[in-house]
Amino acid sequence: MKIVMLERNSVGPDIDVSCYMQLGEVTYYKNTVTIEEVAERVKDADVIIANKSPMNEASLKDAKNVKLICELATGFDNCDLAYCKSRGIKVANVVDYSTGMVAQHTFTLALALVQKLAHYDHYVKSGAYSAQDRFSNFDVPFQELEGKTWGIVGMGNIGRRVAKLATAFGCKVIFHSITGKSAVTDYPQVDKETLLAESDFLSLHCPLSDLSRDFIDADALKKMKNTAVLINVARGPVVNNTDLYHALVNGEIMAAGLDVLEHEPLRETNPLSKLKDSNQIIITPHLAWGSVEARTRCVEEVYKNIRSFMDGVDRNVVNP
């Protein structure tokens, strides 16, 4: 069994991936970006471990032995499932390995923004606090979560975990299903107009699809409260970055916390790169999923997917 890991560093060099060597002959590449690189590196592979590398006809047509592609993630939008199925190539992803961490990061962003932590941290470290003659300072107003409405887009594992945490903070939770097929009944399901109009906090946890691309655009942002906080820990293109920039500059919403962007890493051509006020926007480098524990689980789950495949059992296969 020849296994090729195309993006070894996507889980971080601190995480041990030697377990795959128990399954066969493994070739590791730190990163693989282009179709040409993929095609050359997988041409003799039986199993491919990938994350963002393009998995399609152009990159796989000469890889005659490939039987399994293991996504080192939950998302599989880098993979042409129809083409893989036509070739008899199974695609397996990793499920629920980072739910707790992504939910945690959602609230890390929301709390930092609503409580103006960047401002008050700087206030103390600048010496301004030491120079004042009173014990406290709250020159920039901040708010509580309790009593607010928390809107959610995407009520999967992560969305449901966020809903539980929001409830624990005393928020009213509402959600919107982009596909309209959600079976969740624990929280009120609302249409997009209601979601935008009523949410004090709006967090995005949906997969990227034609339905979700640009879900938050200029029109949507204009319908939100000017005190609203937007959190995107889903996929970058769910939010139109240029439209968000104008909404923040024009005060259409109060703040945004982003762990994902339309193009990653952040490009200088992205207007959001111009915004430097961390009370208005916080951008983290696609790390919401990446605790040590979550990355370790991700590696282990891929190992289990390959092991099961070798035993003739489909595990987490997304194109049966």
Task: Please give the sequence-ordered ranges of beta strands (E in DSSP) within 29-145, or none if there are none.
Answer: 47-50, 68-71, 90-92
Distances 179 to 51, 89, 153, 154, 194 between C-alpha atoms, Å: 25, 27, 10, 9, 16
Distances 146 to 6, 168, 218 between C-alpha atoms, Å: 45, 9, 28
Count Cα neighbours of 237 within 13 Å in the Cβ-side half-sphere: 9
DSSP 1-30: -EEEETTGGGG-TTS--GGGGGTSEEEE-S
C-alpha–C-alpha distance, residues 28 and 86, integer Å: 27
C-alpha–C-alpha distance, residues 145 and 137, integer Å: 20
Are the C-beta atoms of 220 and 208 separated by less than 8 Å? no
For 175, residues 6+ apart whose C-beta sits below 8 A from its C-beta are 151, 152, 153, 155, 159, 163, 182, 184, 187, 188, 189, 190, 195
Give the torsion sign (CA, 37, 41, 45, 48): negative
For 89, residues 6+ apart whose C-beta sits below 8 A from its C-beta are 60, 66, 67, 68, 69
Residue at token pair 């990163």: 31
Distances 37 to 56, 67, 75, 135 between C-alpha atoms, Å: 13, 19, 21, 60
Task: Count how many residues are written for the chain.
Answer: 320
Catalytic residue annotation: 235, 264, 286
